[in-house]
Structure 1
């Protein structure tokens, strides 16, 4: 084992506080909807019990279940069995090799018939309904390590972040409070984000489980599927999604199912899209801010204010012992160890702040400073722009001036019209040279726009330009 799965000096489990797997006291309470079939709390616990003896023998299990309900059953069976879920953000061959360096005993539990993950595999089994189910809710130790989530470090290698059961529970309880859902009895969470992604893990799996809501099961990504599911499940409904999925839904130009709340994360949401979404779904839209390291820590309603509001008991401050550290540090609440944020943050009063983009996105041109997030905000606010992003190429060794580029999805708007609006909004030093129209941006399944994918897109245009001369 290359890491510690139990905090140093922790007392025996019998002396540490326990937290239940779920808050339900009524066995008939609905935990999930699988199409139109309701799964009760009793059936869910039965499924967890049935899966435990069929789990891989290893301590560390990569949870590769794409069906959200199967993911939930696998997650809980792994936890109750005293094993640990591995949740890498990608499943490339290189990521899996690096994951094996972290957990040499790692195996994979999957519901995919053609899974290509190069680990010992166990297929998710068929679970049969039981008669005369005993309703007994498992109890987990508060500081039990139940999952490792992974981010890419500065070297590109995955960095593991330990998640304890108690911290995860406190996080999603605070999320429900912040979103005004504490008393939303019977609400159903419909998610478009993969459950292995930290945002999907928290908001579409743990938040319904811990707060007594129901979740919709299948991994929907297409607009028609999302709409059909919203129509099938009972109200009140909460849509947990991303800007890229909202943009696709709005582009359908048809009546959309009403919801009680829309939740968005993974990428900045253009004000125009936020307003369109609220109007189309007849519901308020809240954005969530956080990181894999800290979990979710703040929300805002972008049609009302650009300021973020911290979760209860979360503190944000400069490093008390290092005046040269420009980063904000997060502590308190569910954040077990103070963590630095890599975003440029302007702290306001009463737990509020503004986010000006990632520190790595700060750019300097001709002695002037801006951020890619600020520039992207103005680009995406232009009417007719469906999606857009600025790109700063690497510095040239030849001494030539490096020029900002921008890519835009705007089939009905002329390039010169977009540039004309930008000239009114941003400093001339940051005007894109060139502004390139594309059919779509290379966003991933969660709506994020990886820097490497944007660099590859820029390289493609550069090659085409060279080939035409």
Structure 2
């Protein structure tokens, strides 16, 4: 296994800086004095014993504020004491009788998903987070490579699991109602395991189990990335230096928990002793209702969710009481066009764009002022984060020049499960993206390293063309990619989703790009499509854009947005 994190211990200056960061976190966020401060010493002892894992945060919160709401989903609310008790019993009943167990999780956002993650932390099991957008082929391939001892799944995936060889799903537990024996592999439900286990696990495991997150796979097969289960308080301090996180808020997490951003949101929410609101499927109207109903609400989402919210009728948008909304934090994909400004015009200056990756966690954060001035910026690095733009030889490029983005922070991943070495230069890990620094020090992400298009010797950044087309009246959303060309090597192709009733032509799109960007950036192919192919995290998958590919190939893992309840 090749590790991305340096093995050296921090020096005296770094240790002093860490203490200052931690003090700032406790005072700025209100963690120290809010909610029964006399119980703070007991909470600290629990954290020292369990660590800052999801399990440790749950135990510590139950000590500090046992009756405070911890989790709210479609089935109701659980207090921190109830969540601690239920996950302790689930940990005792879930653990396989093997030295280093691995639990696969194929779930949407609900208590069963969160409780499984916490229970695995309590018994030291390694967690494999499976993408709910996987087709049978990808699911079989991932389970064949990363074999699990137990699989926890929603019943809706029973038919897909039935097509997976039994040796790859040795034991299956179901969330919710479970699955009929005829639909898939039999097994008890999580609720049955919890009810039948009288004694909860109360001691920390000797070794904390890691989490395996699968990279999104927009350009190929997903890879398993190993994340540390115990990030420590300094990771939270770094994020809180740029995000307005406060103790005891209500965190509405719409980003999928199987994705790095959703998992990070859950970690931050528990660390802040916030009540976590989960919805099994994203519905923009229900999200706005949750924002209106909960005090001091913070929303964690992916950009396509904001797009779907902004597509709602004007009376629905005006009917949302956003006065209690403290923060909307998005990550996982670029903010297209002027979406950031349009969203803030309706919901106030509460939007924060977090740029990062599975391997690097965060890189930079753009706040409302920066997004109003530059809607396409990725912002600035938070505290204790170093970002460099490098050329292929590893040298720094001048400000304004495009190069490869490298980062060092408190939460770099531990390595790939395959043993593939991460790309590191001078202690900084490559994000796989190219970008540049503007004259005011803001970071701009121009796309993937393999996404730049060279057409007739000219380098074209598809993101710039996408943003220009997205601002056209009548355009709902757009994706731009390079396609092979016999004469020019590559040419640009635009895939445009028109708004209902809009009259758009390919020539109008080309004229707009020529006027707004450059003549060499004009897409020679303009396809008008009913929707863009997205995976379960809302990212457009370039390899699914080609309309000439067979439908069954293009639809493998594709998800319609928003997720509509069946």
TM tier relative to shorter chain: 0.7 to 0.9
Unaligned runs of 5+ in 1: 10-15, 461-469
Note the 1:94-173 alignment, pairs <5 A: 94-112=137-155, 114-115=157-158, 116-117=160-161, 118=164, 119-120=169-170, 121-124=172-175, 125-126=190-191, 144-151=208-215, 156-167=220-231, 170-173=234-237
In structure 2, the residue matched to 1:374 is 464
Partner of 2:356: 290
Give the conservation status (yes or no) of the 8 Å contact 1:31–1:212: yes
* Partner residue in 1 for 2:514: 423
CA distance in 1, matches of 2:115, 2:328: 25
Alpha-carbon distance between aligned partners in 2 of 1:429 and 1:320, rounded to the nearest angstrom: 24
Pick the aligned partner of 2:274 from 213, 235, 245. Answer: 213
Contact 1:176 1:207 in 2 (8 A): no
Deviations 1:426-463 (A, max 9, x none): 22122122322222212223220111211246788xxx
Equivalent position of 1:466 in the other structure = none
Deviation at 1:401, TM superposition (A): 6.1
Q: Name the one with the larger helix percent.
A: 2
Please give the secondary structure, in 2, of the residue aligned with 1:260. Answer: strand
Distance in 1 of aligned mates of 2:234 and 2:202: 18
Q: Please, what TM-score do these two structures have when normalized by structure 2?
A: 0.70
Distance in structure 2 (CA, Å) of the matches to 1:202 and 1:163 = 11
The two structures, once aligned, show a CA RMSD in angstroms of 3.6
Shift in Å, 1:330 = 1.6
Corresponding residue for residue 404 of structure 1: 492
| Residue 533 (structure 2) aligns with | 442
Q: Who is 1:66 aligned against?
A: 108
Q: How many residues align?
A: 443
- Structure 1 residues 108-117 or 348-357, which shifts more? 348-357
Highest relative contact order (Cα 8 Å, sep 6+), 1 or 2?
Answer: 2
Q: For the structure 1 residues 211 and 450, does the alpha-carbon distance in structure 2 shift closer, same or farther, using more than 3 Å as the test?
A: same
Matches within 5 A, 1:288-367: 288-301=354-367, 302-305=371-374, 306=377, 308-317=379-388, 323=394, 327-335=404-412, 338-347=428-437, 352-367=442-457
The alignment partner of 1:165 has SS state of: coil
SS in 2 for 1:360: helix
Distance 2:393 2:471 in 1: 38
2:91, 2:200 within 8 Å by CA — same for their partners in 1?
no
Distance 1:351 1:223, change over 3 A: same
Structure 2, unmatched stretches of 5+, are 8-47, 176-189, 397-402, 415-427, 552-566
2:243 matches 1:179: yes
SS at match of 2:77: strand
Range that drifts further, 111-120 or 321-330: 321-330
Q: CA deviation at 1:387?
A: 0.2
How high is the TM-score relative to the length of structure 1? 0.83
Alignment-derived partner of residue 264 in structure 2: 202
Q: Partners of 2:538 and 2:430 in 1: how far apart?
A: 24
1:404 Cα shift?
A: 1.7
Among 260, 264, 268, the alignment partner of 2:330 is: 264
Higher strand share: 1
Is residue 171–residue 296 contact of structure 1 (8 Å, CA) maintained in 2? Answer: no
